[in-house]
Structure 1
Amino acid sequence: MSSSPADTAHYNRFIADLFGMMAYGELSAFERFAADARYSPTLHDRAVLGRIAVVEFQHYELVSSRLADMGIDAEDAMLPFQAAVDFFHSRTRPGDWFESLMKAYVIDTVSADFYRAISRYVDAGTRELIEEVQASDETTQVLRELLRGALADDPRLASRLALWARRLLGEALTQAQRVSHEHAFLGRLIGGGDGGGDTAAANELVSGLIAGLAGNHSRRMTELGLAG
């Protein structure tokens, strides 16, 4: 059965919001990696983070280009999410290089998990773009190895970074729930009326996403030798 015009309109609004959120996330990631690179303990580490920053900006350009193809200005699409993302980063300022690495790792992996979960519900073209932008296995591996090296050099970091990672996850999950509710974000994916679609179904989807994100994070922390 074909979708109604209302369903199509809600889905298109969801895609615009999705790309706006992705674009600002990638732009913010570029800024963070570029800034963190300045405080790297070695020139090699500075180059590594600088390279990741370039990749993040390329991802931002990919999403911006897709928005332009849709006739949507990237800044207009990003603005509704700027305050929430900036607030998250203001609450999670790293205290040193090691906390910067952990923040980058947690945000990189949790964000990728979130968008990949969402990609199961979208059209093929959108799914392809999400997969291209979130194909961050190389970045994830680089950050993981940097963290493993730091923990091997100073095992005393383990308890501090485990607590820091737990706080980052909590803030990230709270942020995801807040954005979903404030923007009726996932309700438009479910479809329905002006109130944001099927609220019960959207809440169920959010709960499932949150549980999956937390479980994946715990597994990754265990792989690092840290308490999830």
Structure 2
Amino acid sequence: MVTWPWQRDRTAARTLKVRSRGDFGDVSRVDFAELAPAIDTFLGQAAYLQLGFFETLSALIAPTPELSHKESLSRAAGAALLKHRELVEVIRERGDDPLDLMLPFREPLDAFRRATHGARPLETMLSVHITAGMLDDFYVALSASYGATGDRVARILGQDDDRQALVAIIAQAIASDEEWKSLLALWGRRLVGDTLLIARGALRPQTLDAAEERKVEPVFTDLLGAHSRRMAAMDLDA
């Protein structure tokens, strides 16, 4: 079993809660008992995730032949880069080195990106849309644990992600070839497990007892509900 970097230090307790509907998302409010990671872990991982989404989307631009698709990819990549830069600014304003905070997550999150990188560009577009959506939601939920800094992070992650153009590309492909529908639906289901492992690994305890599992369950139920809505919006079964 992998020991995540943030699971080695349990000296600083945090309270994890999901914000009420209408604050920063559509998740119901649930209070967790001291499960959230230290704020350095929260910021470092969130910043590196956005950098990874930018890198993945940028890599798709060159091999994409259609100019309109290139432009859509560049907008989505730019939105991820903007979030990354703003999270880095939060880290710097706290007096920390962004590279120091992100470095512990480079190996596990790069492995996650490799595991969710599709064999075809459409699969990879779907990967970013689904994994970024789920993890942005999760980090907004975590943000309630960190006061004003968490509020600022939630606002950053709640900015326009410019991924609807990617959804349009996927929908166009499905409309032109029905085989894409079953392939992408299967791929979307596969993404869920890997993404939930990243979310679960961000929590402080390496293992949860029965009471802690009950506290965590509503958050992951919300994540899965939002995932199902994203898939349904593309006419894909979650």
* Fold equivalence (TM over 0.5): yes
Where does residue 46 of structure 1 map in the other structure? 70
TM-score, structure 2 length as denominator?
Answer: 0.77
Q: How far apart, CA to CA, are the structure 2 residues paired with 1:202 and 1:36?
A: 40
Name the CA distance, whole Å, in 1 between partners of 2:164 and 2:189: 20
TM-score (norm 1): 0.81
Separation (CA, whole Å) in 2 of partners of 1:81 and 1:160: 31
CA displacement at 1:206 relative to structure 2: 3.0
Give the corresponding residue for 1:211: 221
| 1:49 alignment partner AA | L
Deviation at 1:123, TM superposition (A): 1.2
**Who is 1:190 aligned against?**
none
Distance 2:187 2:124 in 1: 10
Change (3 A) 1:52 1:219: closer
Q: In the alignment, which residue of structure 2 is the partner of 1:34?
A: 58
The within-5 A match list for 1:106-185 is 106-136=130-160, 138-180=161-203, 184=204
Aligned to 1:225: 235
Q: Contact 1:177–1:206 at 8 Å: present in 2 too?
A: no
Amino acid aligned to 2:174: L
What displacement does 1:77 show? 0.7
What percent identity do the matched residue pairs reach? 28
Alignment RMSD: 2.6
Contact 2:140–2:157 (8 Å) recurs in 1 = no
Where in structure 2 are there 5+ consecutive unaligned residues?
Answer: 1-9, 15-35
Following superposition, the deviation at residue 199 of structure 1 comes to 6.4
Q: Extract unaligned runs of 5+ from structure 1.
A: 1-6, 188-194
* Runs of 4 or more consecutive aligned structure 1 residues displaced over 4 Å after TM superposition: 198-202
Separation in 2 of the partners of 1:92 and 1:125? 30
Q: Residue 88 in 1 paired to residue 112 in 2?
A: yes
| Relative contact order higher in (CA < 8 Å, ≥ 6 apart) | 2
Q: How many residues end up aligned between the 2 structures? A: 208
Q: For 1:45-81, what per-residue CA distance to the aligned partner results, in whole angstroms no more than 9, with x for missing partners? A: 1122122222222221111111111111111111222
Residue type matched to 1:144 in 2? V
CA distance in 2, matches of 1:173, 1:133: 18
Opposite residue 79 of structure 2, the aligned amino acid is V
Match of 2:94 in 1: 70
